[in-house]
């Protein structure tokens, strides 16, 4: 936890009173005392400093911070992720890792090789996935929560929704091992990028065809077969490198 | 498991008899039958095809394969990793992920912010880490096991060992958030790269100074603070992107 995040409603006249895992973290991990200054941030808002006004170091822990906010200075995130729903334990890790790396929008979609039972997992609901996004922000020192959109049917998404989304992007690419194209050849300019990662076992032929019909470009990163979580992070790194360019 | 790997000594006159988790995988996951052809490979050797000669589908599972080998056609790996020893559970995941991505040599070293207890973990011994490397190869469809070297003292490594290693590399870089340099400015040519990732909390000033004295270049990927496993994978992706160049 490299920043203490709070919800807008928690701040009252510049004062923030914590009684949960954040108070525990301040007492047990940061070992803070009165007068110490901590990095704080409002979820989807500003970042700033919180001065420890009072601290109860025995359980139940209570920490009061006096908070001053200034605009979040992190550069805006220009990468979005289109992800075939992975198994729940992997989804949790991916959400937190990709939020740390920086992602604006995550589209969770169905695909032929997505196991039906994955859709019943608690992490697919906002109450289930939000903590993993917040963990990612706490690691990254950012406040901007990615938005998640969920599409439980592939065909309506790719036919009716996807084409209307693509105008926001300067590049939209889908990882597909059979492609002979490289990522750098698919990326045009340095604008916003949408990248798609399939399920374990990959997209089926029909899905690749539908993505191509919608205007997306397929690329491969070589013959090594990656797990979904490895692919999401490694390809995010590749895209960042291409966008930064120097 | 995208390839069935075996040790050199397991093959007798072109015949491979499996009775362990690999036999189970062939029966339960691949649901193979006699005559089916599977991708196989000898650890640190060739890849090829294994025809199922006989298969016992009830526990205890036994599968006999008739194996034909040809040289491993994967392009050689030209990235090595210098890693401050992370906590055991994270090390296991990193070893398997980075082996999947492709790494030749892994130097596991000590650093000020490495917890002493991490060195007592079973995964630091060859019997402990080897299965995670093999898992990574089974995922990637490769046979070349990364080599692991372990240095339990930072100063003797960085002063006496590291300078003698660097002649193999065209670039040797260390991730360090305080650096104002970028990765692409540190990478010269398309030859072999050594990249260094510090412990949670980062390298201390003394360590950065010693790396610089040894000739290594520091770089930063921006203000977001990454966990060690995320950094290892994302920066591997960046380096691959820069090496491929197109």
pLDDT digits (tens, 9 = 90+) for B140-168: 999 999 999 999 999 999 999 999 999 99
* Cβ–Cβ gap B221/A240 under 8 Å: yes
What digits encode the pLDDT tens for the residues B86-143? 999 999 999 999 999 999 999 999 999 999 999 999 999 999 999 999 999 999 999 9
- Residue of B195, B230, B231, B240 to mutate when probing chain A, most A C-beta within 10 A: B230
Buried b (16+ CB within 10 A) or exposed e, A189-223: eeebbbbbbbbeebbeeebbebbeebebbbbebee
* Cβ–Cβ gap A185/B246 under 8 Å: yes
Q: Write down the ipTM of this complex.
A: 0.96
Q: Which residue of B has its CA nearest to A187?
A: B246
* Cβ–Cβ gap B224/A140 under 8 Å: yes
Which residue among A225, A235, A244 sits closest to B140, beta carbon to beta carbon? Answer: A225
Which residue among B184, B227, B235 sits closest to A139, beta carbon to beta carbon? Answer: B227
The position carrying tokens 């005392």 is A33
Question: Alpha-carbon distance B223 to B39, whole Å?
Answer: 43
Helix (H), strand (E) at residue B70:
strand B62-70
Question: Alpha-carbon distance A170 to A193, whole Å?
Answer: 6
What digits encode the pLDDT tens for the residues A100-156? 999 999 999 999 999 999 999 999 999 999 999 999 999 999 999 999 999 999 999
- What's the start-to-end Cα distance of chain A, in Å? 30
User: Chain A closest CA to B119's CA: distance in Å?
Assistant: 22
Q: Is the pLDDT of residue B242 over 70?
A: yes
Indicate the pTM of the whole model: 0.96
Query: What's CA B23's distance to the chain center, in Å?
Result: 25
User: Chain B closest CA to A160's CA: distance in Å?
Assistant: 33
* Cβ–Cβ gap B139/A226 under 8 Å: yes
Number of domains comprising chain B? 2
Tell me the pLDDT of chain A averaged across its residues: 96
Contacts for A222 with CB less than 8 Å, ≥ 6 apart: B75
**Residues from chain A contacting residue B144 (CB–CB below 8 Å):** none
8 A C-beta contact, residue A170 and residue A214: no
Instruction: Locate all alpha helices (DSSP H) within A1-105, ordered by sequence.
Output: 21-28, 88-101
Question: Alpha-carbon distance B246 to B211, whole Å?
Answer: 31
> Could you tell me the pLDDT band of residue B190, with boundaries at 50, 70 and 90?
confident
- Specify whether B64 is located in the same domain as B83: no
- Specify whether B149 is located in the same domain as B113: yes
Q: Is the pLDDT of residue B246 over 70?
A: no
Tell me the pLDDT of chain B averaged across its residues: 96
% of chain B with per-residue pLDDT over 90? 96
- Specify whether B160 is located in the same domain as B89: yes
* Cβ–Cβ gap A100/B227 under 8 Å: yes
Where among A29, A51, A70 does a domain terminate?
A70
* Cβ–Cβ gap B224/A185 under 8 Å: no
**Residues from chain A contacting residue B142 (CB–CB below 8 Å):** 224
* Cβ–Cβ gap A223/B141 under 8 Å: yes
Which residue among A140, A184, A230 sits closest to B225, beta carbon to beta carbon? Answer: A140
Q: A with B: how many residue pairs have Cβ under 8 Å apart?
A: 105
> Could you tell me the pLDDT band of residue A246, with boundaries at 50, 70 and 90?
low
Question: Alpha-carbon distance A26 to A50, whole Å?
Answer: 11
* Cβ–Cβ gap A101/B141 under 8 Å: no
Region at B14 (left for phi over 0; alpha for psi -120 to 50; beta for the rest): left
- Specify whether A202 is located in the same domain as A100: yes
Give just the sign of the alpha carbon dihedral A161, A167, A169, A174: positive
Residue B19: which domain range? 4-70
Q: Residue B71: count other Cβ atoms within 10 Å of its Cβ.
A: 9
- Specify whether B155 is located in the same domain as B220: yes
Where among A36, A70, A104 does a domain terminate?
A70
Which residue among A140, A185, A234 sits closest to B236, beta carbon to beta carbon? Answer: A234
- Specify whether B96 is located in the same domain as B33: no
Q: Choose among A25, A20, A35: nearest CA to A66.
A: A35
- Specify whether B90 is located in the same domain as B66: no
Q: What is the pLDDT of residue A241?
A: 96
CATH number at residue B202: 3.40.1280.10
CATH number at residue A22: 2.40.240.20
Residues of B with CB under 8 A from a CB of A: 2, 74-75, 97, 100-102, 139-142, 182-185, 221-227, 229-230, 233-238, 240-242, 244-246
- Residue of A237, A239, A240, A245 to mutate when probing chain B, most B C-beta within 10 A: A237
Residue B136, phi then psi, degrees to nearest 5: -65, -40
Q: Is the pLDDT of residue A217 over 70?
A: yes
Q: What is the pLDDT of residue A198?
A: 98
Q: What is the pLDDT of residue A72?
A: 87
- Specify whether A134 is located in the same domain as A58: no
- Specify whether B133 is located in the same domain as B48: no
* Cβ–Cβ gap B101/A223 under 8 Å: no
Contacts for A13 with CB less than 8 Å, ≥ 6 apart: none
User: Chain A closest CA to B100's CA: distance in Å?
Assistant: 7
- Specify whether B66 is located in the same domain as B95: no
Which residue among B100, B225, B238 sits closest to A240, beta carbon to beta carbon? Answer: B238
- Specify whether B26 is located in the same domain as B54: yes
Bridge-based pairing state of the strands A62-70 and A15-18 = antiparallel
8 A C-beta contact, residue A41 and residue A140: no
Q: What is the DSSP letter of A6?
A: E
Q: What is the pLDDT of residue B79?
A: 98
Q: What is the pLDDT of residue A12?
A: 95
Question: Alpha-carbon distance B38 to B55, whole Å?
Answer: 13
- Specify whether B113 is located in the same domain as B229: yes
What is the rounded (10 degree) CA torsion for B68, B71, B73, B78?
140
Two structure tokens written together for A92: 């949790």
% of chain B with per-residue pLDDT over 70? 100
Give just the sign of the alpha carbon dihedral A31, A35, A37, A41: positive
**Residues from chain B contacting residue A225 (CB–CB below 8 Å):** 2, 100, 139-141
Question: Alpha-carbon distance A29 to A25, whole Å?
Answer: 5
Where among B52, B70, B88 does a domain terminate?
B70
Two structure tokens written together for B132: 């995670």
Q: Residue B51: count other Cβ atoms within 10 Å of its Cβ.
A: 15
8 A C-beta contact, residue B244 and residue A182: yes
The position carrying tokens 């040289």 is B71
8 A C-beta contact, residue B246 and residue B236: no
What digits encode the pLDDT tens for the residues A39-81? 999 999 999 999 999 999 999 999 999 999 999 888 889 999 9
User: Chain B closest CA to A79's CA: distance in Å?
Assistant: 14
What digits encode the pLDDT tens for the residues A29-42? 999 999 999 999 99
């Amino acid at each position: 936890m490299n920043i203490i995040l709070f919800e807008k409603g928690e701040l009252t006249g510049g004062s923030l009173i914590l009684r949960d895992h954040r108070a525990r973290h301040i007492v047990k991990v940061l070992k803070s005392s009165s007068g110490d200054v901590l990095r704080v941030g409002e979820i989807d808002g500003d970042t700033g400093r919180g001065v420890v006004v009072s601290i109860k170091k025995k359980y139940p822990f209570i920490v009061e911070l006096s908070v001053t906010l200034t605009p979040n200075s992190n550069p805006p995130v220009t990468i979005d992720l289109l992800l075939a729903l992975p198994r729940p334990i992997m989804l949790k890790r991916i959400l937190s890792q990709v939020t740390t790396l920086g992602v604006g929008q995550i589209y969770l979609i169905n695909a032929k090789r997505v196991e039906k039972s994955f859709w019943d997992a608690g992490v697919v609901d906002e109450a289930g996935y939000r903590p993993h996004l917040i963990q990612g922000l706490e690691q990254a020192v950012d406040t901007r929560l990615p938005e998640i959109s969920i599409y439980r049917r592939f065909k309506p998404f790719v036919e009716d929704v996807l084409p209307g989304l693509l105008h926001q992007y300067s590049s939209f690419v889908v990882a597909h091992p059979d492609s002979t194209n490289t990522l750098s050849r698919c990326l045009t300019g340095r604008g916003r990028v949408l990248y798609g990662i399939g399920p374990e076992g990959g997209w089926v032929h029909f899905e690749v065809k539908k993505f191509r019909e919608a205007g997306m470009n397929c690329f491969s990163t070589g013959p090594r077969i990656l797990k979904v979580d490895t692919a999401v992070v490694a390809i995010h790194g590749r895209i960042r490198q291409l966008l930064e360019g120097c």
